[in-house]
A and B are shown apart, each in its own frame.
Chain A
Amino acid sequence: MTATAPPRRAPEAGPGSGKSAAGRRLGPRLVERLRQGGLPYLLLLPAILAELLIHIVPMVFGIVISFRDLTLFYIRHWQTAPWAAFDNYKAAVEIHQPIGQALLHSFWVSLSYTLLSVSFSWLIGIAAAILLQDTFRGRGILRALFLVPYALPTYAALITWTFMFQQDTGLVNHVLHDQLHITSSKSFWLLGNNSFWAMLIVSVWKSWPFAFLALMAGLQNIPRELYEAAAMDGAGVWQQIRKITMPSLRPVNQVIVLVLFLWTFNDFNTPYVMFGQSPPKQADLISIHIFQSSFVNWNFGSGSAMSVLLLLFLLVVTALYLLVTSRGRSESDV
């Protein structure tokens, strides 16, 4: 907290005192030195301290413990946990051994979950954004409604979906079995193969509004003149969408796909709230798999090694993605 004290002084300089009151209070020499370039660092100081505390130190520490055999037994004195060298990593990647096999399985579940969820979320998002571009009655209401899944607290939405997927009392089986007679019996949705699809539907429901939001913003940045000119040349609405809208949205799409990929691949909430600490095999996403290794089986060394592998994977994916998508586009600086 003390870190934020010095910059705070400025606004208290008093409303009427005007000209560089803050400067006078800090002393001319200090102000001069700050003007010469220290100020940005001073402004960043609280953020840098916080970043160190919450991100940098834990990450370094996480890497350190991934090389140790850190189980519940050593949790109070992590330094005494035996050195494991690369054993945790070896176990994680040995795909013929139980640990490695389970991790690989969880990786494939996460990957297919993510690719499907991102595709559907993007599709619904782009459809809604384009179709809500024109003015018509009810447009404002729909726009607000479509944002509700995004605004609802995650667990409240997830609990509701869990209720809908209940075997006896849920809406899904009521509709499929009692009303439409599509299924011959009331299926279990939160067990076995169905659990993957149940989880996927919920995931799309939660994440498509983000794509919708970002694409709506992207659509606003397309100049009207482009459409008008195209219309003059006789291009129909479908042609306009294909030739003007889609190409113009490319940069927005790239951001959406990357962000949704990372969010969904790291998703913990969906399986955890829907299935609890030990989800069915088909819904064992990577985050909950690591959570389980660490906090259910109490093997922190192993969990940390898996975390580091996950991080490396995400970094490689992000780097590759940025490399591929920035090709042919002028280098934009952060």
Chain B
Amino acid sequence: MSRFSDQPSPMARPKSFLWTRRIVLTLITAFVAIPVYVMLSSSLKSLQDVQGSFRWIPHSLTVRPYIDIWKTIPLAHYFVNSVIVSVSATVFSVAVAIFAAYAVSRYRFMGRKVFTVTVLSTQMFPGILFLLPLYLIFVNIGNDTGVTLNGSRLGLIITYLTFSLPFSIWMLAGYFDSIPRDLDEAAKVDGCSALGALFRVVVPAAVPGIVAVAVYAFMTAWGEVLFASVMTNESTRTLAVGLREYATENDVYWNQVMAASLVVSVPVVAGFLLLQRYLVAGLTAGAVK
């Protein structure tokens, strides 16, 4: 992963460039960091402190909000729902995508172009386009067969495939393309079947890419709002919908809201930053080509 290896500057930079760099990077840093700071600092404030005019420096620090968030709303329950739905959608998408991406990357067959164009274009369609018909289909399935998909976790997982499957296929195909074809050709010459070559050569070589795709699919599912707001009920609600419950009519416990936001963010941000290099390589292999 030497894509972003440090390179020395080719020549001395003029003063104008250095000053521009300092100023612009400072402004961007402030733009990016201020909301993060607000989230962190407000989550450590007392309720009176967040209910008055905003203060950059908290009056006093308290971890109370982090304890209270679990009692004000069933946050733990929503957390579990989010984990189940996001993990299931991720595992299913990646498993299906590995086979599809291998076929697209290694074989030339009739309908290949139709398939790739379909996958690519559905990735660009708005979620609302699939939400309406899927909702009605689920209602009617429930009506005809008694299988309740609306409000169930399974129903939500299915709707999450609408976005996680296409980009998993697309990104993995890009990743598989970057693995030399000679590797699995050689395995086949040695007597491996095509699937043997896939699982003994291509998949092991693509582990960083597969991890990147999985993390990305998980992140997207974890942050999904539209489907979750329509397809869940009280017992299957995810964090995306559940967090709104802190906003009661009169007083919003902003310190708790910020604490909860931070708690739901830490796992994905940590995962993202740890796997940054792989993710960037994987993302760009699929996106920038």
Contact = CB atoms under 8 A, between A and B. Distances in A.
Nearest to A1: B92
Interface stretch (B62-70, B178-186, B206-214, B217-225): B217-225
Nearest to A144: B273
Contact of A55 (B130, B199, B230, B265): B130
Residue from the set A21, A139, A220, A252 with the largest chain B CB neighbour count within 10 Å: A220
Interface string B110-139: 001101111111101111111111101101
A145 to B, nearest CB: 6
Contact of A77 (B39, B118, B143): B143
Contacts of A56: 118
B193 A20 contact: yes
A168 B120 CA distance: 45
Interface in B155-177: 158-159, 161-162, 165-166, 169
A271 B234 CA distance: 23
Interface in A305-328: 307, 310-311, 314-315, 318
A180 interface: no
Given A131-B24, A152-B268, A295-B230, A44 B134 contact: no
B102 to A, nearest CB: 6
Given A156-B265, A268-B226, A13 B120 contact: no
Contacts of B55: 174
Contact of B288 (A144, A255, A266): A255
Interface stretch (A45-53, A93-101, A111-119, A187-195): A45-53
A307 B131 CA distance: 10
A10 B198 contact: yes
Contacts of A75: 136, 139
A55 B122 contact: yes
B143 A76 contact: yes
Contact of A51 (B4, B165, B219): B165
A226 to B, nearest CB: 10
Given A18-B191, A163-B258, A168-B53, A50 B165 contact: yes
A47 B132 contact: no
A213 B193 contact: no
B162 A314 contact: no
Contacts of A311: 125-126, 129
B269 interface: yes
Contacts of B140: 76-78
A89 interface: no
Contacts of B116: 334
B126 A266 contact: yes
Given A59-B129, A236-B14, A131 B25 contact: yes
B33 to A, nearest CB: 7
A142 B219 contact: no
Nearest to A212: B28
Contact of B32 (A21, A145, A214): A145
A156 B264 contact: yes
A37 interface: yes
Given A40-B103, A78-B140, A273-B225, A155 B191 contact: no
Interface residues of A, number: 118
A50 B7 contact: no
B280 A171 contact: no
Interface string A120-131: 000010011001
A151 B272 contact: yes
Interface in B52-106: 52-55, 95-97, 99-100, 102-104
A275 B244 CA distance: 11
Contacts of A174: 53-55
B222 A255 contact: no
Contacts of B200: 11
A255 B162 CA distance: 21
B129 A307 contact: yes
Contacts of A41: 103, 109
Interface of A: 4, 7, 9-11, 13, 18-23, 31, 34, 37, 39-41, 43-44, 46-48, 50-51, 53-59, 61-62, 65, 70, 75-78, 124, 127-128, 131-135, 139, 142-157, 159-161, 163-164, 166, 168-171, 173-174, 178, 205, 213-214, 216-218, 220, 224, 227-228, 231, 236-238, 251-252, 255, 259, 262, 265-266, 268-269, 272-273, 287, 290-291, 294-295, 300, 303-304, 307, 310-311, 314-315, 318, 334
11 contacts: A4-B96, A55-B118, A57-B133, A59-B133, A124-B28, A153-B265, A157-B35, A174-B53, A238-B17, A255-B288, A334-B116
